[in-house]
Amino acid sequence: MNLLEPRNVSKELSLFRIEQMSFASELNLTSLEATMTVKTLQVLLIAGSPMGMSFLAARLTKWACEIHFASSCQEANAFLSTQKYDLVLSELRLRDGSAYPLADLLLGSDTTLVYSYAVENSCWWLPAVKNGRSCWGSLAMQPSEIIGFLDGTIKEIRSRQTVSSDEVNKSLLKEMIN
């Protein structure tokens, strides 16, 4: 090839881009597959009686969450010391004391904690920890509002997991290119 001979550089670049796009689309398929494999959310329900949380358990099961039950502060501490949870829903008062100290245990984690506080024939839901950060002072929720809050929280947790999966795929792509 003569260096002074004119070349069709734009055609060569176009071919290179098509090859890149083909390679990227193959990787996007892999990325899409990785994105679709979402980790099951781990939820800890803490209540004096599992019946008190049965409605939420049914709802969380529909959202494909793995649910664990604890009926006391002692059981809750045992669960939290052995496993990471994405979401913890707890009655504030339990038979062996207040669940209030759980908030301190979950600070700095990725966990969201919401307390249920019984009032007369109903309860208020009190957000305490959101994604590992204290959120005391957030507005309390009535029972009719907790489902919307949980729906949004679960979607947020799942989107964070998807983003993490995408970041892993991007770093793998960079390694393959280099």
Q: Give pLDDT tens digits for 74-119.
A: 999 999 999 999 999 999 999 999 999 999 999 999 999 999 998 9
Q: Which residue has the tokens 């307390």?
A: 115
Closest-CA residue to 112 (of 71, 47, 165, 158)? 158
Helix-helix angle 54-62:143-177, to 10 degrees: 30
Q: Which residue has the tokens 């069709």?
A: 8
| Cβ(164)–Cβ(38) below 8 Å | no
| Cβ(95)–Cβ(72) below 8 Å | yes
Q: State residue 23's pLDDT score.
A: 43
Architecture of domain 41-162: 3-Layer(aba) Sandwich (3.40)
Name the phi and psi angles at 63, rounded to 5: -85, 10
Predicted TM-score of the model (pTM): 0.70
Name the phi and psi angles at 65, rounded to 5: -100, 150
Higher per-residue pLDDT: 102 or 171: 102
Per-position b or e across 78-108, b if 16+ CB within 10 A of its CB: ebbeeeebbbbbbbbebeeeebeebbebbee
pLDDT digit string, tens, across residues 5-39: 444 444 443 444 444 444 444 444 444 444 445 67
Is the pLDDT at 166 greater than 90? The verdict is no
Closest-CA residue to 109 (of 94, 128, 90, 137)? 128
